[in-house]
Chain A
Amino acid sequence: MSTSSRVRGRAIDAFDEPRYGFPAKFWRGLESHRPPGLDPSRLWRSPLRGPRFTAVLSLGLLIGLPLLIGTGLLSYVAYGPQFGQALPGHVGWLHLPWFGWPTRPSWLYQLTQGLHVDLGFVLIPLLLAKLWSVLPKLFVWPPARSLTDVASRLSLGLLVGSVLFEFVTGVLNVQYDYVFGFDFYTAHYFGAWVFIGALVAHVAARLPRMVAALRSRPVANDELTASSPITPTISRRGALALVGGGMVAIAALTVGQTVGGPARKLALLLPRGRSLGSGPNAFQVNKTAVAAGITTVQIGPQWRLKLVGGTGSMTLDRPALLALPQHQATLPIACVEGWSTTQTWSGVRLIDLARLVGMTHPSSAHVTSVQRFGAFTSATLQGNQVRDDNALLALRVNGADLSPDHGFPARIIVPALPGVHNTKWVGSIEFRGHV
Chain B
Amino acid sequence: MSSVTRRAGVFIGLVAMLGCFSLAGYVISLLQGNPSLDRMLVWFAGAVVGHDLVAFPLYAATDRLSVAVFHAAKVNYLRVPAAASALLFVVYLPGIIRQGGNTYVAATGQTQEPFLGRWILLTAIAFALSGLVYVVRLAFTRRGSTA
Contact B87 A124 (CB under 8 A): yes
Contact B105 A291 (CB under 8 A): yes
- Tell me how far the C-beta of A329 lies from the nearest C-beta in chain B, rounded to whole angstroms: 25
The residues in B between 58 and 102 inclusive whose CB is less than 8 angstroms from any CB of A are: 67, 72, 75-76, 79-80, 83-84, 87-88, 90-96, 99-100
How many residues does chain A have at the interface if contact means C-beta atoms less than 8 Å apart?
A: 82
| Partner among A176, A205, A270, A287 whose Cβ is within 8 Å of the Cβ of B13 | A205
> For residue B104, which residues in chain A have a CB less than 8 angstroms away from its CB?
175-177, 271
Contact B92 A291 (CB under 8 A): no
In the bound complex, how far is the Cα of B2 from the Cα of A9, in angstroms?
A: 8
Contact A270 B95 (CB under 8 A): yes
> For residue A233, which residues in chain B have a CB less than 8 angstroms away from its CB?
67, 72, 75-76, 79
Say yes or no: is B45 at the interface (Cβ < 8 Å to chain A).
yes
Contact B119 A269 (CB under 8 A): yes
In the bound complex, how far is the Cα of B50 from the Cα of A168, in angstroms?
A: 11
Say yes or no: is B146 at the interface (Cβ < 8 Å to chain A).
no
Say yes or no: is B14 at the interface (Cβ < 8 Å to chain A).
yes
Say yes or no: is A99 at the interface (Cβ < 8 Å to chain B).
no
Say yes or no: is A236 at the interface (Cβ < 8 Å to chain B).
no
Say yes or no: is B48 at the interface (Cβ < 8 Å to chain A).
yes
Contact B16 A204 (CB under 8 A): yes
> For residue A269, which residues in chain B have a CB less than 8 angstroms away from its CB?
88, 91-92, 95-96, 115, 118-119, 122
The residues in A between 256 and 283 inclusive whose CB is less than 8 angstroms from any CB of B are: 268-272, 274, 276
1/0 contact string of B28-47 vs chain A (CB within 8 Å) = 00110010100110011101
Contact B109 A405 (CB under 8 A): yes
> For residue A204, which residues in chain B have a CB less than 8 angstroms away from its CB?
12-13, 15-16
- With A92-B30, A196-B23, A198-B24 already in contact, the answer to whether A249 and B48 are too (CB < 8 A) is no
In the bound complex, how far is the Cα of B47 from the Cα of A274, in angstroms?
A: 30
In the bound complex, how far is the Cα of B45 from the Cα of A154, in angstroms?
A: 12
In the bound complex, how far is the Cα of B106 from the Cα of A178, in angstroms?
A: 13
- Tell me how far the C-beta of B79 lies from the nearest C-beta in chain A, rounded to whole angstroms: 8
- Tell me how far the C-beta of A341 lies from the nearest C-beta in chain B, rounded to whole angstroms: 12
Say yes or no: is A6 at the interface (Cβ < 8 Å to chain B).
yes
In the bound complex, how far is the Cα of B36 from the Cα of A169, in angstroms?
A: 14
- Tell me how far the C-beta of A255 lies from the nearest C-beta in chain B, rounded to whole angstroms: 14
The interface size bin for chain B is 35 or more
Contact B20 A124 (CB under 8 A): no
> For residue B87, which residues in chain A have a CB less than 8 angstroms away from its CB?
124-125, 246, 249-250
Say yes or no: is B19 at the interface (Cβ < 8 Å to chain A).
yes
| Partner among A165, A175, A287 whose Cβ is within 8 Å of the Cβ of B95 | A175
In the bound complex, how far is the Cα of B92 from the Cα of A249, in angstroms?
A: 13
- Tell me how far the C-beta of B61 lies from the nearest C-beta in chain A, rounded to whole angstroms: 12
> For residue A276, which residues in chain B have a CB less than 8 angstroms away from its CB?
109-110
| Partner among B15, B48, B95, B100 whose Cβ is within 8 Å of the Cβ of A164 | B48
1/0 contact string of A181-196 vs chain B (CB within 8 Å) = 1110011001101101
> For residue A193, which residues in chain B have a CB less than 8 angstroms away from its CB?
23, 27
> For residue B84, which residues in chain A have a CB less than 8 angstroms away from its CB?
245-246, 249
> For residue B110, which residues in chain A have a CB less than 8 angstroms away from its CB?
271, 274, 276
- Tell me how far the C-beta of B122 lies from the nearest C-beta in chain A, rounded to whole angstroms: 7
- Tell me how far the C-beta of A20 lies from the nearest C-beta in chain B, rounded to whole angstroms: 16
Say yes or no: is A227 at the interface (Cβ < 8 Å to chain B).
no
Contact A179 B91 (CB under 8 A): no
Contact A177 B100 (CB under 8 A): yes
> For residue B90, which residues in chain A have a CB less than 8 angstroms away from its CB?
124
> For residue A179, which residues in chain B have a CB less than 8 angstroms away from its CB?
94, 99-100
Residues on B lying within 8 angstroms of A by beta carbon are 1-3, 5-6, 9, 12-17, 19-24, 26-27, 30-31, 34, 36, 39-40, 43-45, 47-48, 50-52, 56, 67, 72, 75-76, 79-80, 83-84, 87-88, 90-96, 99-100, 103-110, 114-115, 118-119, 122
Interchain residue pairs with CB less than 8 A apart (19): A2-B2, A121-B91, A131-B51, A135-B56, A158-B20, A158-B24, A160-B52, A161-B44, A168-B43, A172-B100, A179-B100, A180-B39, A234-B79, A246-B87, A250-B91, A253-B88, A269-B118, A269-B122, A272-B108
Can you add 4 more A-B contacts, CB < 8 Å, to A90-B30, A253-B92?
A176-B104, A179-B100, A194-B27, A197-B23
Please list the 3 inter-chain residue pairs (A to B) with the smallest Cβ-Cβ separation, ordered nearest first. Answer: A177-B100, A197-B23, A291-B106
Residues on A lying within 8 angstroms of B by beta carbon are 1-2, 5-6, 9-10, 90-94, 121, 124-125, 131-132, 135, 138, 148, 151-152, 154-155, 157-158, 160-162, 164-165, 168-169, 171-172, 175-183, 186-187, 190-191, 193-194, 196-198, 200-201, 204-205, 208, 230-231, 233-234, 238, 242, 245-246, 249-250, 253, 268-272, 274, 276, 284-288, 291, 405
